[in-house]
């Protein structure tokens, strides 16, 4: 008889879950300063537990600590978005180029993530949709067979979660978000990697463009580089919607 594995969730993990939900739902807005003691008291936990929960969310990229402001909900600049999508293009396109003989188990995981993403979009559960969207892309990185790159990628895209939830919530036609991921999966499983990479590149360009536009509407700081990039991505946005 096999022994069942028991997973215990620490109090810090539970607190992190509560704060994560508040951040991703928009209850705690980007840039909001968080105070350990008041938050700990409001949730009935110790300051050490709250500090550990904040550490967990900092590792995920949802919170940021600074010398002058303490810890706050992560707030991206347009330059941050530009750099993150640069990383995504380099790693995700490289991963597709390495996917010449994908493991059946990994393909099954990709399909499951795809279905969960589509279901979340259809019911407009944007937090779940973004989680499944990023999980789908994270699975692509496994084709590289490099744990360090996977870890780096996870930390990088974690910073996008709040912004992507905001972008998807504003989308007038959520059904438009579905086809690109389905097409990526079909081309990947068919071994048409060059076509798949082309679609993925357009998808990332469009995603960056939409996020940059939302941030610009919120008064995010522009740099000359990000302004130029935004103009370039505007052309890509006319080609692909996701």
* Domain residue extents for the chain: 11-73, 78-237
Give me the architecture of the 11-73 domain, per CATH.
Answer: Orthogonal Bundle (1.10)
pLDDT value at position 66?
80
The pLDDT tens digits of the residues spanning 167-188 come to: 766 665 656 778 999 999 999 9
Quote the CA–CA distance of 171 and 120 in Å, as a whole number: 14
Classify residue 3 by burial, with Cβ atoms within 10 Å: 0-12, 13-18, 19+. Answer: exposed
What pTM, to 2 d.p., does this model score? 0.74
The pLDDT tens digits of the residues spanning 92-143 come to: 999 999 999 999 999 999 999 999 999 998 888 888 888 899 999 999 999 9
pLDDT value at position 242?
37
**CATH number belonging to the domain at 78-237, selected among 1.10.10.10, 1.20.120.530, 3.40.50.300, 1.10.3720.10:** 1.20.120.530
């Amino acid at each position: 008889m096999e022994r069942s594995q028991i997973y215990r969730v620490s109090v810090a993990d539970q607190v992190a879950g509560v704060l994560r939900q508040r951040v991703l739902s928009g209850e705690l807005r980007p840039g909001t300063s968080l105070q350990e003691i008041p938050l700990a008291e409001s949730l009935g936990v110790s300051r050490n537990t709250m500090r550990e929960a904040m550490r967990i969310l900092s590792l995920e990229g949802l919170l940021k600590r600074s010398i002058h402001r303490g810890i706050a909900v992560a707030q991206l600049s347009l330059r941050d978005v530009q750099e993150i999508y640069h990383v995504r293009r380099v790693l995700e396109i490289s991963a597709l180029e390495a996917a010449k003989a994908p493991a059946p188990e990994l393909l099954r995981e990709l399909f499951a993530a795809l279905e969960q993403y589509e279901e979340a979009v259809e019911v407009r559960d944007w937090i779940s949709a973004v989680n499944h969207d990023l999980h789908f892309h994270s699975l692509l990185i496994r084709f590289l067979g490099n744990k360090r790159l996977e870890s780096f990628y996870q930390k990088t895209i974690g910073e996008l979660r709040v912004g992507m939830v905001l972008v998807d919530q504003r989308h007038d036609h959520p059904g438009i978000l579905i086809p690109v991921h389905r097409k990526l999966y079909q081309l990947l499983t068919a071994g048409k990697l060059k076509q798949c990479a082309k679609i993925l590149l357009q998808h990332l360009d469009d995603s960056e463009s939409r996020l940059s536009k939302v941030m610009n509407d919120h008064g995010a700081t522009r740099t000359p580089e990000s302004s130029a990039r935004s103009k370039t991505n505007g052309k890509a946005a006319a080609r692909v919607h996701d």
